[in-house]
Amino acid sequence: MRPTTTTNAGVPVASDEHSLTVGAAGPNLLQDSYLLEKLAHFVRERVPDRVYHVKGGGAFGYFEVTEDVTQWTKAAFLSKVGKRTPVLARLSSVAGEEGYADTDRDVRGFAVKFYTEEGNYDMVGNNTPVFFVRDPMKFPDFIHSQERMPDSGLRSNNAQWDFWTLSPESAHQVTILMTDRGTPRTWRHMNGYSSDTYMWQNAAGARFWVKYHFKTEQGIQNLTDAEAKAMRAEDLDFHRRDLFEAILRQDHPAWRVEMQIMPYEDAAGYRFNPFDITKTWPHKDYPTIPIGRMVLNRNPENFFAQIVQAAFDVANMVPGIGPSPDRMVLGRMFAYGDSNRYRTGPNYGQLPVNRPLNEVHNYNKDAPMRYHHSGNQPVYAPNSYGGPAGDPRRYRDPSWMVESGEILRTAYQAHRDDDDFVQPGTLYRDVLGPADREHLAGNIAAHLSAGVERFIQERAVKEYWNRVDPGLGARVAEHIGLTATTRR
C-alpha cells in the first residue's frame, strides 16, 4: 500500500488534488489548512542564491593519504598513509546564475569539505592557481564587474575590461581565463587549486607555507570557444549532467592531491611576495609533492539539501592547518561564514551536509531552525558545571605571529593600579555612607539567597566581596549565614 499523504506535522490529509470549497462552484475555504501549508511552503522553497558560484554541482567521496606528511603537519586526517576521510566536493561557475550555461567562459570553483575527526576542514579554491585581485577590498568590485548591470540587467564586457585594465594584478588570471582552460570540457577534466597560500604546522611546532594542487587523473581536456558556444545550445547543464552520469555508471572521477611546500624562512627573502594570490610559485623552486588522492563516488540523494545548502567556510581549519599572510585568505575567513549565516541561517552547521563527524561543544544558543541543543548545560563561559573550555596548550592559534607576541589573546596590559577590585572598594569605603553600605550588603545577600548554590555563595563572599572590601564581605556573609570574618 502507498503511504498516506500527511501535513508537515504528520497529520493525514484527505486529498492531494482538490481544495476544500463552498459547494462545487464556490470559493476555497481558509480552513483548508493543508492547502495553505502547501502553498506557503511552495513560495518559500528557495534560499537566497550565493552572490557568486551560484551555478554548480557536486558529489561525495573520499580522500586517501598516499604519502607520509607528518614532517609538515599534525592534522589528524593526514596522520598516516592509507587513512581515508569522507569528502564533499562542489564544482561551480563563478559569475553565472542558476540556469547559466555550464560551458560559458569563466573560472570554476573547486571546493572540498573534509569531514575529519577534528572537525570539518574546507579547502575552497578554483580551477586556476591564481586570482584576479590580491586584496579583499577589491573583491566585491570584481564580482560586480562580472555580474549584470544595475540599469539594463545585462552583462557587460565593457565593465569587465574596465575593471581588469584598471587592475593590473588581474593580468595573470585573465590570461589563463582567455585560454581554452577558461572553457573546460567537464569538471572531471580540470585541475583544482587552493590558489591561496596556507600554513601547515607539525607536532614539533615547525611551520611551512603550502599551496594545494588537485591534479585530474582523467587528464586536462578543454573545449574550444566554438565548441563551448555550441554546447550552450545543446545542454545548459552539461557539466552538472556529466559529473552525475559518470558517477552513476561508476566511472568515478579522481584527482591526485599534490602540495607545494615552502620552508617558513624562505618567504621573507623570496624574490616576490609568496602570499600574493595573483602569482604562482615556480615549480622549479618548489616542486609539487604527492600526498593523496581524492575520489568522488557517490551522487547526492537530494540536490537542494546536499549541494545547494552545502556551506563552505575558509575559516574551517583543523589543528595543523592555518592561515597565512595572504590577504585574500584573511578576508575570506569572515565573508564565507557570514554568507552561510545569511543564506540558510545561523544554525546552517546543523544541517546534515554541513554537520561535522565529531561532537560540537560551544555556547551558541537558539536562533532560527535550531534542532540540536545541549539540554540543561550552561550557555555561558566561564561556568562551574563542566561546560566546554578552550585549551590553549593543545590548540594554539595557528598564526605566524603568535610566538613573536604580535598577535595574542590577552586583556589590557596591566598598569600599576589595574586591579579589578580597587575601584569598587574605593566606592564602598569612600563614597557610600553607612546606610548605603548596609543597604548594599543587604541587597547583595538577598540576591545571593534566591536560588544560588552554596558553593557559589561561598565563592561570592570569599573570592569576590572580600576582595572588594573585607568589611563588605563580612556583612554579606552574616546576612546569608556564612562564617563571619572581619566587619567594619
Nearest CA to 373 among 386, 382, 385, 364? Answer: 364
Which of 8, 18, 41, 126 is flagged as catalytic? 126
Q: Which residues contact 207 (CB under 8 A, 6 or more apart)?
A: 199, 200, 201, 264, 400
Nearest CA to 459 among 486, 477, 484? Answer: 477
Which of 53, 172, 239, 479 is flagged as catalytic? 53
Helices (H), strands (E): how many in the chain?
A: 14, 10
Distance in angstroms (rounded) separating the CA atoms of residues 116 and 77: 6
Looking from the CA of 476 toward its CB, the CA atoms found within 13 Å total 26
Q: Answer yes or no: is 336 a known binding residue.
A: yes
Calculate ∠ Cα 257-262-263, nearest 5°: 135
Identity at 61, one-letter amino acid code = G
Per-residue cell: 349: 552547521
SS3 368: coil
SS3 474: helix
Distance in angstroms (rounded) separating the CA atoms of residues 242 and 236: 11
Q: Which residues contact 237 (CB under 8 A, 6 or more apart)?
A: 102
Per-residue cell: 449: 539567597
Distance in angstroms (rounded) separating the CA atoms of residues 325 and 406: 13
Q: Is residue 53 annotated as a catalytic residue, yes or no?
A: yes
| Residues in a beta bridge with 457 | none
Q: Is residue 28 annotated as a catalytic residue, yes or no?
A: no
Per-residue cell: 107: 573560472
Per-residue cell: 10: 504528520
Which residue's C-alpha cell is 594545494?
Answer: 212
SS3 290: strand
Cis peptide leading into residue 382 (ω within 30°)? yes
Distance in angstroms (rounded) separating the CA atoms of residues 300 and 248: 11
Per-residue cell: 329: 585568505
* CA 416 centroid distance within chain: 42
Distance in angstroms (rounded) separating the CA atoms of residues 184 and 189: 7
In Å, what is the CA distance from 8 to each residue of 5, 12, 239, 348?
A: 10, 10, 35, 21
Identity at 368, one-letter amino acid code = P
List residues forming the annotated binding site for heme: 336
Which residues are known to be catalytic? 53, 126
